[in-house]
Amino acid sequence: MKRIRIATAVLIILSWLLTWFVGCGHPSPPGSFTDDSGRVITIDKTPERLISHVPGITEILFALGLGGKVVGVSTYCDYPPEAQLKAKVGGFWNPTIENIVALSPDLVFTMGSNKPLMTALDALKITYIVLQPKDIEGVLRDIELVGKVTNTAETAEKLIRDMQERILHVADRVKGARRPKVFYIIEAENLNSPWTAGPGSFIDSLISTAGGENIGAKAQAPWSQFSIEEIVNSDPDIIIIPTKHGTAFTAPEAFKEHPIWQKITAVRLGRIFTIDDDLTSRYGPRIALGLEEMARIIHPELFK
Amino acid sequence: MITLEMRDASLGYYHQPVLREINLMVAPGEMVGLIGPNGSGKSTVIKALSRIIHPSSGRILLDNRDITSIPRRELARLVGVVPQLPLLPSAFTAYEIVLMGRNPHLGLFQAEGRRDWAIAWEAMAKTATQHLASRRVNELSGGEIQCLMMARVLVQETAAILLDEPTANLDIGRQVEILDLIKNLCRGNNLSVLAALHDLNLASQYCDRLCLIHEGHIYAQGKPAEVITNENIREVYGAANCVYTHPINGLPTVLLSAGKNKVSER
Amino acid sequence: MSFNTATDKPNIAYFSGRRTRLYSILGLAIALVVLAILATSIGSVRIPPMTTFQILLDKLPFVNISPTWAGNIATIILDIRLPRVIMAGLVGAALATAGATYQGLFRNPLADPYLIGVAQGASLGAVIGFLLPITGTALSVSMIPLLAFIGALAATGAVYALARVGKTLPVTTLILAGVALGAMLGSITSYLIISSGEKMHGIIFWLMGSFSLSQWSEVGIVLPYVAAGTAVIIIFARWLNVMQLDEEQAQQLGVNVESLKLVLLAAATLITAASVAFVGTIGFVGIIIPHAVRLLWGADHRYLLPLSVLTGATFMILADLAARTVLAPTEIPIGVITAICGAPFFLYLLRRRRKAIF
């Protein structure tokens, strides 16, 4: 009697442990997934036809080797070069729903700020996933989610590990180093009140991780204008200007000629640098490159 | 046939009284003339009788019914107004403006029909305005517009007609035409007619009774001969020695003589 | 006495004008249907017209055509293009009718449907809807039209309350109050937009107006409002004619001016709010289409209103067609198209027919 009871108990424990090992781990399709907007999406089988109208997400898809399954991209998705050969579904903020439907996608990747688009996709019963990372960690989580949803979890894991290595490498090197004051110019049509990356913004986290002090963090919102007075008050050591296809959003010369900007430390010492906008504003695999580039700019002495 | 009556009515705009304790009556078949100096309140009386403004005290009655108890559309079938300076939308033709007079007779879902068109056409014949039918109103002269207003009130087929300076812009030939038309209608259809008139002679010739307004009150009321007297004209208008008797019909006539009608002391 | 036969009617502009207008209404209505079908067959995805006709015909009762087309092609025609074309027609009709009504009500050729705060209220509501954080439910996604609608009605209500004097509604006060409140709401909206960060682009695109994401559910909401509001306004067309005289004369001709103002104001505001709530503020249509109709067919509201409905719908469907085909697959905001195409055409009309239109 006693032996049977022990055997039953062991069996139960063993089978429980078994389910733990089998049932646990990353669910692959079919399954339910929660995206960045809190929506729960159910996927029946591995999606074969993918559409992404967000350049950063397109880069993720190609990086995970899903280039062959991508059937539609936006006109802004230009990296990697193969993406430019894909069918276009419109702009970034205004994709053409017709073209999306014509491509018969199994899964559409989108950003969360386009609510009317989401309503339309719901009405047409097209499955979509919202990715909206707030910081570097968020990007890594998104890559993991994309991996699970498209059944490329292993490749995703590799990519994430690679990115984490590079991120940690940067973070370690800059630990303890003095943090120079950095001012990131998002847009400066009016040099007296440029737009910068405020607290809680993605670029703010990049700058911090790269070992800099983002003076934009004193602003009110993640995307805000900064007054020239405050810039003089903070006196940044480094100015970073994003470029698109090689052209800077604001010419560095403009600062040297401006009577007030001239006196800022960064301008006096000629420490105005440019960075490829795609590396800092596309929330995809190249974020790691962006971080490294920024670290090189902020701490040239630590990174060659 | 209706009787218009104002009992102890005080009228004004935005608490500024213009007329006080007016007692006035117009019976069917009667043409009453409203005379008085500029700004004396003749237009105000007409507005009150068509319920554009409300008396601050006293009552206005139509056949002993308080005017405020009569719905707007019914009132428009009883009382028609010929305005002095009407604002007219320039894109409409004369015929369309006259046809608007049929509005009180049409329900919300009705449109003008053959009968309405014929009535309007007929009215324009009576007022000699048929040749203007296709012209836009912004191309018409002041006199032509006045005749058009006359046609419109005919089309309205009301029991009472209020006229605010109906002959101000007309030449003497047309003045006589229009006033003859009004007088005949008044007698023939037993209409109650109240006309604010500038011209004392026309008032005297055409009106059965006159009502002289001065400084917010009715200064005199009665037959033309009783109202248009030298004393009254001097007191109210400030013009002396100008009332004579018409050689043919004996009605009072005002004749002016350059330099001779100034009042000696005031 | 009455006109008995056709020969009795005098040969004046009134009667010849009637005939022209009635035929025009009929002609335009037919042209509109044809245009709608054509517009459904054109888009950024190439679909042969024959296929479109078959797909549409198949939807008629008692007609059954075995499909030779792919399922998603039918989806494009029936679930994307058709509701879009219908929405464009509805909104065009609504804005043109509302514009004509406001112009008649205020007796002012510069009046447009956005005069007393509808657009500003709707924009503010929509921007608030955009800025609300996304929650998991689908309800939050459709908050934008709902908030825009509420905003539009609230703004107009406020303007009405501010402008009312006792039992009357002086027209000038209404316009001034509308302009002032509109300016205030507009500046609040601008501030919110500037502080919206990365959502700014999406918000601005929406505010400029677009039919690109119209669906049947939206058509189902807008259609009853527009149909009911337009019907009410057309019923009062003859009174609106009489209102073109000054208010005194109109009252003396039996029109209850204050009630009429309220009814027409409410109806016109409702149809404008319903349109703006779903597609953003599209300019130009509300002010210019009624004038174009007046130039061609005269100012009698009994024809002006139905013709504005038809002309507005036609114009908007054409504009939407241009918006989605000229730079396909990118879409041009429809407000840009309506102004660029509409303005020169209207100026041409103005030069051709130099006569009073108001």
C1 and B51 in contact by Cβ < 8 A? no
Give the three-class secondary structure for C110: coil
B209-214/B217-222 β-pairing? antiparallel
Closest Cα partner for C158 from C121, C197, C205, C115? Answer: C121
Task: Find the residue in C nearest to B135 (Cα).
Answer: C13
Residue C18 in contact with partner chain B when CB distance is under 8 A: no
Question: CA separation (Å) from A199 to A168, A215, A220, C126, C206?
Answer: 22, 9, 7, 26, 27
The Cα–Cα gap between B45 and B196 comes to 9
Residue C146 in contact with partner chain A when CB distance is under 8 A: no
Residue C12 has φ and ψ, to the nearest 5°, of -120, 165
Task: Find the residue in C nearest to A96 (Cα).
Answer: C329
What CATH class does B4-87+155-228 carry? Answer: alpha beta
Query: Which amino acid is present at C105?
Result: L
Question: CA separation (Å) from C96 to C184, C285, C333?
Answer: 26, 6, 19
Q: Under 8 Å CB-to-CB from A124, ≥6 apart: which residues?
A: A97, A101, C75, C79, C80, C215
Closest Cα partner for C81 from A71, A53, A109, A102? Answer: A102
The Cα–Cα gap between B53 and B45 comes to 9
Residue B87 in contact with partner chain C when CB distance is under 8 A: yes
What CATH class does C25-352 carry? Answer: mainly alpha
- A1, with CB counted inside 10 A (0-12, 13-18, 19+), is exposed
C123-149 confidence digits (pLDDT tens): 999 999 888 875 544 444 477 888 899
pLDDT band at A39 (very low <50, low <70, confident <90, very high): confident
Residue A185 has φ and ψ, to the nearest 5°, of -90, 115
A213-214/A181-187 β-pairing? parallel
Closest Cα partner for A121 from A95, A147, A139, A146? Answer: A95
| Orientation angle between helical segments C216-235 and C257-279, nearest 10 degrees | 160
Give residue C66's pLDDT: 77
Residue C23 clears pLDDT 80, i.e. is over it: yes
Mean pLDDT of C2-8: 58
Residue A80 clears pLDDT 70, i.e. is over it: yes
B57-62/B4-13 β-pairing? antiparallel
A181-187/B4-13 β-pairing? unpaired
B195-226 confidence digits (pLDDT tens): 999 899 999 999 999 999 998 899 999 999 99
Half-sphere exposure at residue C260, Cβ-oriented, CA atoms within 13 angstroms? 27
Residue C2 has φ and ψ, to the nearest 5°, of -160, 165
Domain locations in chain C as residue ranges: 25-352
Give residue C132's pLDDT: 80
> Measured between CB atoms, which of C9, C238, C246 is closest to B86?
C246
Across the beta sheet with A87-88, what order do the strands follow?
Answer: A87-88, A70-73, A50-52, A107-110, A128-130
Give residue A43's pLDDT: 87
Residue A119 in contact with partner chain C when CB distance is under 8 A: yes
A175-216 confidence digits (pLDDT tens): 988 999 999 998 888 888 888 998 888 899 999 999 999 999
* Percent of chain C's residues with pLDDT above 90: 47
Task: Tell me the domains of chain A and their CATH numbers.
Answer: 31-164 (3.40.50.1980), 178-298 (3.40.50.1980)
Mean pLDDT of B179-196: 93
Task: Find the residue in B nearest to C300 (Cα).
Answer: B92
The Cα–Cα gap between B131 and B144 comes to 11
Which residues are A243's β-sheet partners? A248, A276
Please calculate the CA angle A76-A164-A241 and round it to the nearest 5 degrees: 45
In chain C, % helix, strand, coil (3-state, to 5) comes to 75, 0, 25
Mean pLDDT of C78-98: 94
Q: Under 8 Å CB-to-CB from C310, ≥6 apart: which residues?
A: C25, C28, C29, C32, C93
Closest Cα partner for A61 from A27, A89, A98, A86? Answer: A86
Residue B263 clears pLDDT 90, i.e. is over it: no
Secondary structure (DSSP) of B45-65: HHHHHTTSS--SEEEEEETTE
The Cα–Cα gap between C109 and A112 comes to 43
The Cα–Cα gap between B90 and B98 comes to 14
A195-197/A50-52 β-pairing? unpaired
pLDDT band at A21 (very low <50, low <70, confident <90, very high): very low
Give residue C1's pLDDT: 55
Mean pLDDT of C207-217: 84
Give the three-class secondary structure for A34: strand
> Measured between CB atoms, which of C205, C213, C331 is closest to A119?
C213
Residue C193 in contact with partner chain A when CB distance is under 8 A: no
Other beta carbons less than 10 A from residue C42's beta carbon: 17
Averaged pLDDT of chain C: 87
Residue C300 clears pLDDT 90, i.e. is over it: yes
pLDDT band at A22 (very low <50, low <70, confident <90, very high): very low
Domain locations in chain B as residue ranges: 4-87+155-228, 230-266
Mean pLDDT of B153-181: 91
Stretch 136-175 of chain B: residues touching chain C, C-beta under 8 Å:
136, 138, 156
**Strand locations in chain A (E):** 31-34, 40-43, 50-52, 70-73, 87-88, 107-110, 128-130, 181-187, 195-197, 213-214, 223-225, 238-244, 247-248, 272-276
Give residue C90's pLDDT: 96
Residue listed under structure tokens 């690109």: C212
Q: Under 8 Å CB-to-CB from C319, ≥6 apart: which residues?
A: C88, C92, C334, C337, C338, C341, C342
Distance from CA of B27 to the nearest CA of C (A): 21
Interchain CB contacts (distance < 8 Å): A and C: 109
Task: Find the residue in B nearest to C291 (Cα).
Answer: B91
* Percent of chain C's residues with pLDDT above 70: 93
Mean pLDDT of B112-126: 93
Give residue C48's pLDDT: 86
Give the three-class secondary structure for B32: strand
Whole-prediction pTM value?
Answer: 0.84
C251 and B50 in contact by Cβ < 8 A? yes
B113 and C2 in contact by Cβ < 8 A? yes
Closest Cα partner for A175 from A198, A209, A219, A138? Answer: A209
User: Which chains does C contact via 3+ CB–CB distances below 8 A?
Assistant: A, B
Other beta carbons less than 10 A from residue C86's beta carbon: 22
Give the residue from C134, C199, C200 with the most A CB atoms within 10 Å of its CB, the best one to mutate. Answer: C134
Which of A265-274, B134-143, C229-238, C339-348 reaches the highest mean pLDDT? C229-238
Question: CA separation (Å) from C165 to A3, B256, C161, C243, C314?
Answer: 96, 48, 9, 20, 40
B65-66/B31-35 β-pairing? unpaired
Peptide bond into C329 cis (omega under 30): yes
pLDDT band at C45 (very low <50, low <70, confident <90, very high): confident
Give residue C206's pLDDT: 83
List CB contacts (< 8 A) between C201 and chain A.
Answer: 92-93
Distance from CA of C296 to the nearest CA of B (A): 12
Mean pLDDT of A106-114: 87
pLDDT band at A148 (very low <50, low <70, confident <90, very high): very high
Q: What is the DSSP letter of B136?
A: B
* Percent of chain B's residues with pLDDT above 90: 64
* Percent of chain A's residues with pLDDT above 70: 92
Task: Find the residue in C nearest to B155 (Cα).
Answer: C253
pLDDT band at B46 (very low <50, low <70, confident <90, very high): very high
Give residue A25's pLDDT: 43
Distance from CA of C3 to the nearest CA of B (A): 5
Residue B181 in contact with partner chain C when CB distance is under 8 A: no
Q: Tokens in use for B95?
A: 């015929």
A8-12, A140-144, A200-204: range with lowest mean pLDDT = A8-12
Residue C314 clears pLDDT 50, i.e. is over it: yes
Mean pLDDT of C296-319: 94
User: Which chains does B contact via 3+ CB–CB distances below 8 A?
Assistant: C
Residue B265 clears pLDDT 60, i.e. is over it: no
Give residue A20's pLDDT: 45
Averaged pLDDT of chain B: 91
Other beta carbons less than 10 A from residue A27's beta carbon: 14
Query: Which amino acid is present at B133?
Result: A
Sign of CA dihedral B85, B90, B94, B95: negative
C177-201 confidence digits (pLDDT tens): 999 999 999 999 999 988 877 778 8
